[in-house]
Structure 1
Amino acid sequence: MNSLNGVMVVGLTGQTGAGKSTVSKIFASNGFAVIDADQVARKIVEKGTKCLDEIADFFGQGVINEDGTLNRRALAGIVFSDRSKLEMLNTISYPYITGEILRQIRVHSMKGEKLILLDAPTLFESRADDFCEIIISVLADEDIREKRIISRDGLTSEQARKRMNSQLDEEFFRSHSDYIIHNNGSIDMVNGISWEVSDKIRELFKEKQTPVVNVQ
């Protein structure tokens, strides 16, 4: 039996610093199982993994700590300064990421959790959008996002801008999403919109599960 039958995967993505985690928490509260692609990305580069070995082979031992773990700051310094190297990192890591995401989708499905939110900053780049029936993008103004990234990650303004500039532009998110949620400051407004969108998707899911009765 296909364990993915009856599953609806909703992709949540958007600009770095836009505040996806706020939206994700509302969906979780409204009964969605959540797969966090950031946690997946950390899992696939743990010490001793094949993905980490491939990264070290390409980028050198300078991105590996003495204890054999990934030196994230060193790797970030390389890839966010050179788009071609970022693309190479993506080429190495995305197959491992998508494989783990599919595994987690199957686990949720077998547990009867059929409404799944895939929280993925690089949803499109990793082609994980192929798994999704609905896509939501969270957007925010540049200056707001820069401040959030600096506060969240302890970066300089220049480092924050490099991360922002390494992403797809706002128009791409707008043209490839079913829902757009703006998060420019009002937490109550974002929470309210997120509840509304999650309710709409739950209703759509219920409608799809209702068998059609043919009347002769």
Structure 2
Amino acid sequence: MPEPVLSCRSLGCRAGGREVVQGLSLDILPGERVALMGPSGSGKTTLLTTLGGLLPPAAGRVLLGGVPLDERPALRRETALIFQSYGLLSLLTAAENVEVALRAAGRAPRDAVREAAQALDGMRLTAYASHLIEELSGGQQQRVAVARALALRPRVLLADEPTAEQDRLNRALVLDALMAAPAALVVATHDPEVAGRCDRVVELRAAVSRA
């Protein structure tokens, strides 16, 4: 069996002053697709943010490639997070939002422009590449966030309800793109179809996590 690309050990996560995830141990294998499911408030978003290294654990550790994130924070660059709130930069265009992320990851300017255009085309957003984020619908903004994450070509892709704002056709587009990505995928979702496309489901219930 291959070594896990992402792991957590006895992980605890806090949100709103309370511990929403307790004692979770989990291994994500390279290329694996794992769905996080559970009711609102069960800690799915907080867990994703902690796995991505953006929120420190309340207990336990997160490891990427066997290395604790708290010892090597630079490893966070090997993950990409699709936020439920999109996490896009206002006053920038759709293309600029993707290009900025690529430049921050070390891409040369010309490569960033080319790769951003390709990623947006994959999300059927070429016609909106020069539009400011504020001019886009919620569904279009969500697809920009997906394009940005995919363009980064991360080892681990963390996605928070990535199809929630999409109509039927674009929902299929987003889901197919996420499933085709070479990265390991951890996706928080309420959608049984999304969960059904994954290799396994982790259920989060009332501050107790069960795989």
* Shorter-chain TM-score range: 0.3 to 0.5
Question: Normalized against structure 1, the TM-score is what?
Answer: 0.35
**Which of the pair is proportionally richer in helix?**
1
Greater per-residue strand proportion: 2
Higher relative contact order (CA 8 A, sep 6+): 1
Decide which structure has the larger Cα Rg and report it.
1
